[in-house]
Amino acid sequence: MSSPTIRIISLGAGVQSTVMALMGDREMFGPRPDCAIFADTQWEPKGVYEHLDWLESQLSYPVYRVTAGNLREDALNLKAVRTTTNKKFMAIPLFTDSGIGRRQCTYDYKILPIRKKTRELLGLKPRERAKGLTAETWVGISWDEMQRMKESGLGYIVNRWPLLEQKMHRHHCQ
């Protein structure tokens, strides 16, 4: 891959993404990221927001907080989500006698808001093609959870897993 237009950290504010953000700021994975994006479900524990405030004070690059709405309120109000395929279902998993219902909360409340902010940072208008633009998105997955690795599915967003590159496990991050 040629040099990306922008380097972004997908920041969950957990152990792995925090370590990745701090190491990235010290250029331990190559050039420093341009920013981090935290997708806020507006239903995180208070400690997550306190930790995020602290982390922002430690980093030399900006952390953008984005949201698709309040996951808890949407679920309690039984707000059904209309997907890109125009099918409706609940945003969070519901447990029934026959098992767990279909869910889409990670995609709708995390991935889509991060993608929207990424497009904004690239200077793209809605539905505008990203000709010649690339966002290298760092994802904080450690060696012990590599089965979670997924490509973005979009030509202009290239996922990178710096912790995996260093063969780091969660216990290394702790």
**In this predicted structure, what is the pLDDT of residue 43?**
82
pLDDT score, position 61: 98
51 domain residue, yes or no: yes
- The beta strand positions in 67-140, using DSSP E, are 80-82, 88-90, 95-96, 99-100, 135-139
Residue 54 has φ and ψ, to the nearest 5°, of -60, -50
pLDDT at 93: 58
Residue 152 in any domain: the answer is yes
pLDDT in tens, the chain (174 residues): 578 899 999 999 999 999 999 999 999 999 999 999 999 988 888 999 999 999 999 999 999 999 987 776 766 665 555 455 554 455 555 556 665 555 557 778 888 999 999 999 999 998 899 899 999 999 999 999 888 889 998 989 999 999 999 999 999 988
Domain carrying residue 138: 6-69+110-173
Residue 94 is predicted with a pLDDT of: 55
CB neighbours of 152 closer than 8 A, spacing ≥ 6?
137, 158, 159
Find out whether 109 and 71 touch, Cβ atoms under 8 Å. yes
Q: What confidence score (pLDDT) does residue 44 get? A: 86
For residues 121 and 17, what is the distance between their CA atoms, to the nearest angstrom? 20
Residue 167 maps to a domain: yes
Cα 56 to Cα 29, 83, 87, 108: the distances in Å are: 19, 33, 38, 24
Residue 132: partners with Cβ closer than 8 Å, 6 or more residues away: 5
Q: Please give the helix or strand (H or E) that residue 114 lies within, else none.
A: helix 112-121
pTM greater than 0.95 (yes/no)? no
pLDDT on residue 114: 94
Residue 90 gets which letter from DSSP? E
Whether 167 contacts 149, CB under 8 Å: no
Tell me if 31 is assigned to some domain: yes
Residue 78 lies in a domain: no
Cα dihedral value 22, 19, 29, 124, nearest 10: -70
Number of domains in the chain: 1
* Domain contains 99: no
Cβ-contact 154, 122 below 8 angstroms: no
pLDDT at 68: 82
Please give the biggest Cα pair distance in the chain: 51
What CATH number is attached to the domain comprising 19? 3.40.50
